[in-house]
Structure 1
Amino acid sequence: MLHLIQQSCRMAWRNLFRPRQHNVAKILCLALGLSVSAVIIAEIYYEQTFDQCYPDYDRICRVTEGFKMKAQEFTEGSNTSGGVVPMMKRTIPQVELATRTNPIVTDGEVETDDKTRVRADVYFADSCFFRMFPARILEGDADRALTEPFCCVVNRSTAERLGGNVVGRHIESKEMPGLKLTIVGVYEDYPHNSTFHTYDVIGSMNTQKNFSFDGQDNLVGNDRYSSFVRIRKGASPDSLTPLIHHMIQTHYPVQELRQSGVWLIYKLTPISRYYTEADNVRQMFWILSLLAIILLSASILNYVLIVVGNLVSRAREMAVRKCYGAGRGAVYSITFSEVCLHLVLALMLGAALLWACHGTIEQLLSAPLSVLVFNRGAWILLLIALMVLFVGGIVPGWLYNRMPVTLAFHGYVEARRRWKVALLGLEFAMVSFLLGLLFIVSMQYRHTVGFDLGYQCAGLATVNITALQPDERQTAYDEVGRMSGVRQVSACNTFPFYGMSGNNVTVPGEESQLFNIADLYTVADHYFDVLQIPVVAGRVFASGSDSLKQVMVSQDFASMMKKLRGWDDVVGRKVIISEHSGNENKDLLTIVGVYRDIHLGSAENNGRDRPSVIFYGRAANWMNNYLLIQLDDFSAEKLTDIQMRLQRFFPGKTVMVESVENLKNMQYVATRNFRNGVMTVGIVVLFIALMGLIGYVSDEVNRRHKEIAIRKVNGACVGDVMRIFQLNILRTAIPAVLIGAVGAYWVAAQWLQLYDNRIALTVWPFLVTIVLVLLIIVAVVAINCWRVANSNPVEYLKQE
């Protein structure tokens, strides 16, 4: 047996270089198909095991909040008030442990004692955080970090970015001056498929009491906390629902909430399902799974297609071996040794391709390539390799063994072309499916990027000024305004395309809260001119009117007030808006203007149906986080000039000048990555299908060259010969691409459900896909049969 295996391996190596075996095409198609499908499958597995890296993860639940106000639909939020889970821990026996995190700085700059600056996400957490979500403590005292005020721990990657040896050093947030934390520990980074992977700095929740507003005990309002509970063994999240309802009825100001028209509820979702059960994640799971199956199937089918095509040239070889005593095992040994060699070479080539392109590939993935491939899901990739080995060895071996020796010399194999036609049809369907889906994904991406948000982003630059003091903000505002090429400068708290926090509206003299609004907070002079937002009633804020308690509202706001209180004209009316009307909601705000509705949040969602408000704040106001700069001629050089000028004024600060348009488009990275992923898979499958088509046409030409020669002798021209092959292929291609287009239509319709703001799905992109694929097929067939169609028929007939 060992001798037979060794002999088969030597034979496989010699056969690797035999002409007309298409071994290069086999290996190349396998390498492309296996490498890309392996990455997709690894990504799927990694995402489906999100937040399963903790002990007892099946008992840890994310607490989310649902509420409804009188005039608005039921809304669910991922965050809660600070006091919710501590109250659950005190009042519900089935809750074993409760913890919260509070985002303090998101992608902000922190600076150490030696002036080393890095960007980091800073969170505050309860002292029991590491009990619920254990991490390996590499250095220091994590318990002290989460107990004592102004102490923190950092993850290993942040410690390395800070230069190492960080315990005992101090870090200070440049966005929140005065927030200075002492590093007392270093912990190992959480995995990429963990909620807490981006937590660079975790400080003590007790710091809030000594630093800023502390809402960690609030049961209502200040909904900014990510809340988690660990339930006892034997308990289920659903069994806690009546207990949570009882907690609300007992400990919450139910009467006040009822008078305000607010209905509140909490939901417990196992942390391992919180991410994977999101609509977009579930949809992308099966779409990516389908892409991986298509790609893997295409590579395996193409391998089998080429092997079946080689039956014509190798049937007599196998028949001769049988005549000299080769049994079924010997034939299988030959086929398995060949596919094993091809698989090893394909894996080596695929690994080399992934390594060479890992930078580009990782932009489309949720984790580094090495993390995805070498993790607990590596067994799936091994299983795929074994499947390729099995199919590639069994199918040709079965065909060779099934073939009678006597018929191998009488043209039996030449008639066995139905295999090849069926496999080729499947590949055509896959190409049509992927190109049709690519059309729709590309159209949706262009739709979202070019969608009219109701305000202008193109030609605008922005500078994050959160690290500057009020006088420095004013200096930056003035200096940029003096630069040539700068048309106007304004400032704002946030951009409309980011998510908005909310506040509630009340009419003076009433108790009930009418509806929730999106709060854009403060803007400075020229804001409406810079963003080109029309004011449809009233006026804009007067310069320097910070103290006048004025507010501007959207058209939706005015419509809601007309619907609920019959106000035909809201300008000059007074309202109460929580957070802006004092601690007791007694300060009245005067509406001075109404602006046209603008799209809030991403263009992928419907954001124009939510009322919004804007307040005034001078450029130096601490609430303003960004400068808005309108340029006469937008260019990268102009952004560099602004950055260099501001950097000279603030040498101790990091100044970044960015394009507002680019910041807006960053929200569509997921759609762009999906488009690029479908494009990559589509190109690979198209290449594999074309390799199969070329091999099939080549085999058909070799099989039918004498027939073609006779036709030419009888008067057939080049076009007649080419039509024979084209019509033969089109009989398979037309129904195949139709099936693929129908499948693409159905999948695209499901994928578009992820977007509230989506394109209208019509048949035209799929008709274009069908025509395009058929044209490619006809062109490839014409090119490959051109030689025999133009050849001298005498050369072929001389062989008879």
Structure 2
Amino acid sequence: MRDLNIAIRSLFKRGRHNVTKIVSLSIGLAIGLVLIAKIYFEQSYDSFYPNADRIYRLTGYTSNENESKVSESVSAIVAPTMKEEVPGIEAATRLTHIGGDRNKFITSDKRRYSIGGILMADSCLFDVLPRPVLSGDPKKVLARPGYAMISRSFAEKLGGIDRAEGTVIASDNKPEMTLTIGGVFEDPPENSHLRYDVLVTLEEADDGGFLAWFGRHYLTYVLLSPGVTPETLRPAIDRMQQKHIVPQALQNAGVDRLAFFLKPIREVHTGEANIRNMTVMLAILAFALLFTAVMNYILIAISAIVNRSKEIALTKSYGASGTDIHRMTMSETLVHMILSLTLAVLLILACRDTVEGLLNVSLAALFFSKGAFILSGICAIVFFVTGFVPGMLFARIPVASAFRNFKENQRHWKQGLLFMEFTASALLVSLLIVIGEQHRHMLNSDPGYSYDRLAYCAVTDLDSTARTMLTDEIEKLPEVEQVSSCIRLPFGQMPGGAAMLPGTDQTCFEIADHFRVGDGFLALMEIPVVEGRSFTEEVSHSNEIMVSRSFVDRMKDFADWPDGAVGKRISITGHEQRDFTICGVYENYRIGSLAGNLDDRPSVMLYGRQDRRIPSRYLLVKFRRMTAQAVEKADSRLQELMPDAELELTLYSSRIAGLYESSRMLWIYVTIGGLITVIISLIGLIGYTNDEINRRRKEIAIRKINGASVRTILRIFLGDILRITLPAALLGCGISYFVSEYWQRQFAEKVPQNPLFFIAGGLSVCIIVTACVVYRTWKVANENPVNNLKSE
């Protein structure tokens, strides 16, 4: 306690730079701990289930001689069959998402409520993926058509759990979809890959016979019995497949092999490539920040040894041992650590909205979890290192030499710590440049179509008359160049299908099915037609089909079309009408995005101006000039024409930018981390430079008296620092090269690893260091040498 009192009283003593140490350490702790908490949060997905280690999601694997595919969903019949025929499966369930990102429900008194996801699930859902039930019986509710279970948060919007049960709600988008609330469950936590507010009965739509194994797909989860592993179930799963999936069924589906595998639920989120890469990058960033903050604290502490040598010598002369000096230093570090953590917490709370916005998770989910133990351990390690190293150096000061040549003895320590700080700075600055270039490359790459003047609006729930009216009225606006419609947008996922030769049952290859597009779709998107012509438009029915250039190239392996594809007949699965005539071939364009979900399948599209069976989901609006005023005018017109539909235009360019949001966020993280790391390093550099100036004042004065110029004095200090900075920058850039190469593996197209990126990163650190040293030494280099000699 006495040592703690002494440490508190000495907080503001001159020469110890305690405020600088505490502030720099608190900033490093604030950002470092937030990043570590984010890493733990990402790795803790779905661990909240009581039997998470026994819950698995089924994945399907199909292959033929041309390609193989892994699907995260399987046909509807797999779950009940596996539960019945595979010993060791305790429970199985199926579910699927319905609706979109913005779901609204309306009550009988016309009040609207926005909610999250809607799941269709069978009655076994809570047997596999349990949530605390606050009211109702989920097994009965999810077996009863027209009834729903809702989350606590939705129930509270409706007036509370007691009032919610029995309430009738209707989808704002689908008024015919009315649901009676039969129960309430606790909201899934933020670290759940399944987020939903409403559960409704799964509509059974299984095909009979062998086709059921290739029919409609659902997310399927199973709960294994205690002690059972996927490896022990493999023989039983294989027997199930052999029993139900005969070779003829595989041949009809164009598949050589169909297999099912179990994926641990904890790996559903953490197993994604972008999550793995993001975790590694955040770990490197957090380590660099904390490491720099700790090294800077030690550097400043070592710099204060000269000023404290007399105090330590006197303490040891009165009988203090090395252990006593260690205890005194650790007590002082404990006070600093407590103050740094307090300041870090206040900083995090002050920036709470920013932190939650950047990390997309609440502070409560970050810190009030099992991850708090990890953060406590990190703090303990930081405390030990920041206290032990200075304490070790303090304890080694002999009483007899406390005032003799002590400055020189500790110079190499300080240079070594600066080297490590500069290495971390060069690493992050170089990494920042690569991430920025990769993001810019993806954002500006040519997808094979034009979207710079394009906006779209979801019109899924409007009837054909309303969609036609909207198209005609919006096209009349002088700001609008063209309007069209489609069912699928190019950046999204396309449903699968198979190309077949008419009159045969054998699949040629898988295709990405664009489904039906409206008038002038290709012209609006500026996708070139390379062979034949576009669709015959304004007809009620069309058997024409357009295919991509890659479709024609793939078809060469299955059919001989010496005079081209135009006019040839082709069958496409997944449509009521299977045989179509190819009227044209369009240039390949990008389906999906470069962020790991690029779809390289050949594509096809059909014509359908207003298909009543499969209505157009999106209205596409191309402006003559993309201005805020033009978009606002079109938005206002949409609201005026359909006041109850809540239609809103979305800029296509903003949606494209959203596809690469993860790389943009990483760029922001590294920018903040790199900036803080450089600032902390400069604090240490300034302290080191000040020590060197004080140590060498007599030398500088003598050199000036002997004719040394200001440039010569500056060169002496710069040479000393650059001998540390250049190797550190080289090492940091080298590490950055391997880190950035690892990070880029997730992208379909990578920006080349240009050496200039790393040269620019290392050079930037060197320039900043040079500017800082020149700034701190300029004054002393211009001082009167007589004054410096007097002070000696």
- Equivalent residue number for residue 602 of structure 2: 611
Q: Does 1:416 align with 2:414?
A: no
1:282 equivalent in alignment to 2:276: yes
1:565 is the counterpart of 2:559: yes
What TM-score, normalized by structure 2, do the two folds share?
A: 0.95
Between 422-431 and 606-615, the greater mean CA deviation after superposition:
606-615
Aligned equivalents of 1:323, 1:615: Cα separation in 2:
93
2:234 to 241, 245, 263: 241
Aligned to 1:38: 33
- Note closer, same or farther for the CA distance 1:368–1:612 as it changes in structure 2 (3 Å cut): same
Q: CA deviation at 1:596?
A: 0.7
1-side partners of 2:304 and 2:545: how far apart? 78
Give the SS at the match of 2:100: strand
Alignment of 1:138-537 (within 5 A): 138-162=134-158, 164=160, 165-196=163-194, 198-205=195-202, 208-209=203-204, 219-258=212-251, 260-262=253-255, 263-537=257-531
Letter in 2 for 1:509: G
SS across alignment from 2:114:
strand
Q: CA deviation at 1:606?
A: 7.6
In the alignment, structure 1 residue 642 sits paired with structure 2 residue 637: no
Alignment check: 8 A CA contact 1:69 1:515 kept:
no
Matched, 1:676 2:674: no
Which of 765, 768, 771 does residue 779 from structure 1 map onto?
Answer: 771
Q: Any conservation in 2 of the 1:312–1:414 contact (CA below 8 Å)? A: no
Deviations 1:435-492 (A, max 9, x none): 1111111111001111100011111111111232222222222221122211111111
Q: Match for 2:64 among 50, 69, 79?
A: 69
Q: 2:742 aligns with which of 750, 754, 779?
A: 750
For 2:585, the equivalent position in structure 1 comes to: 594
* Kept after mapping to 2: 8 A contact 1:105/1:121: yes
Tell me what 2:544 maps to: 550
Shift in Å, 1:166? 2.5
Q: Provide closer, same or farther for how the CA distance between residues 261 and 240 of structure 1 changes in structure 2, counting only shifts above 3 A.
A: same
State the AA in 2 paired with 1:158: F
Unaligned 5+ segments in structure 1 are none
Contact 2:206 2:215 in 1 (8 A): no
Q: TM-score, normalised by structure 1?
A: 0.95
Q: Residue by residue, what CA displacement relative to the aligned partner does 1:284-320 show, whole Å, maximum 9, x if unpaired? A: 3333222222211111111001000111111112112
CA distance in 1 between partners of 2:482 and 2:264 (Å) = 50
Shift of 1:499: 1.1
Greater Cα shift, 646-655 or 714-723 = 646-655
User: Where do residues 688-699 of structure 1 align in structure 2 (5 Å cutoff)?
Assistant: 688-699=680-691
Q: Higher mean Cα deviation, 757-766 or 510-519?
A: 757-766
Asked whether the equivalents of residues 115 and 197 of structure 2 are also in contact (C-alpha less than 8 Å), the reply is no
Q: How far apart, CA to CA, are the structure 2 residues paired with 1:659 and 1:66?
A: 37
Amino acid at match of 2:783: S
Q: Does 1:137 align with 2:130?
A: no
The one-letter code of the counterpart of 1:772 is: S
Cα RMSD of the aligned pairs, angstroms, is 2.0
Q: 1:724 aligns with which of 696, 703, 716?
A: 716
CA-CA distance at 1:259 after TM superposition? 5.0
Pair 592,483 (structure 1): closer, same or farther in 2 beyond 3 Å: same
Report the Cα distance in structure 2 between the residues aligned to 1:82 and 1:273, rounded to whole angstroms.
22
Distance 1:335 1:241 in 2: 60
**Structure 1 residue aligned with 2:72:** 78
Q: Contact conserved, 1:144 with 1:151, CA < 8 A, in 2?
A: no
What does the per-residue CA deviation read over 1:655-706, in whole Å, with 9 as the maximum and x for residues that have no partner?
A: 2111011112111111111111111111111111111111110111111111
Gaps of 5+ in 2: none
Which residue among 700, 705, 708 is the counterpart of 1:713? 705
Where 1:440 maps in the other structure, the secondary structure is helix
Write the letter of the residue equivalent to 2:719: L
Deviations 1:311-363 (A, max 9, x none): 11111121122234444454334322322222222212212221222222223
Assess if the C-alpha contact under 8 Å between 1:471 and 1:620 holds in 2.
no
State the Cα distance separating 1:365 from its structure 2 match. Answer: 2.0
When residues 82 and 753 of structure 1 are mapped into structure 2, their CA distance, relative to the original with a 3 A threshold, is: same
| Cα separation, 2, equivalents of 1:161 and 1:729 | 62
Q: CA deviation at 1:430?
A: 0.5
CA drift of 1:163 comes to: 5.3
Match of 1:666 in 2: 658
Q: Residue 686 of structure 2 aligns to which amino acid in structure 1?
A: I
Q: Deviations over 1:257-288 (max 9, x none)?
A: 13553121111111123332333333333332
Counterpart contact for 2:141–2:149, Cα < 8 Å: yes
Matched residue SS, 1:514: strand
Query: Displacement, 1:175?
Result: 3.9
Are residue 127 (structure 1) and residue 123 (structure 2) matched? yes
AA aligned to 2:677 is: V
Query: Which residue is equivalent to 2:86?
Result: 92
The structure-2 alpha-carbon separation of the partners of 1:546 and 1:119, relative to structure 1 and needing over 3 Å to count, comes to farther
- Runs of 4+ aligned residues of structure 1 deviating over 4 Å after TM superposition are 161-164, 213-218, 619-622
1:23 paired residue number = 18
Moved more, 275-284 or 731-740: 275-284
Q: Give the counterpart letter for 1:300 in structure 2.
A: V
Return the letter of the residue paired with 1:713. Answer: I
The amino acid across from 2:633 in the alignment is: D
- SS of 2:26's partner is helix
Structure 2 contact 330–388 (Cα < 8 Å) conserved: yes
Q: Residues 623 and 119 of structure 1: is their aligned pair in 2 closer, same or farther, counting only changes over 3 Å?
A: farther
Q: Distance in 1 between matches of 2:506 and 2:37?
A: 52
* Contact 1:79–1:223, Cα closer than 8 Å, also in 2: no
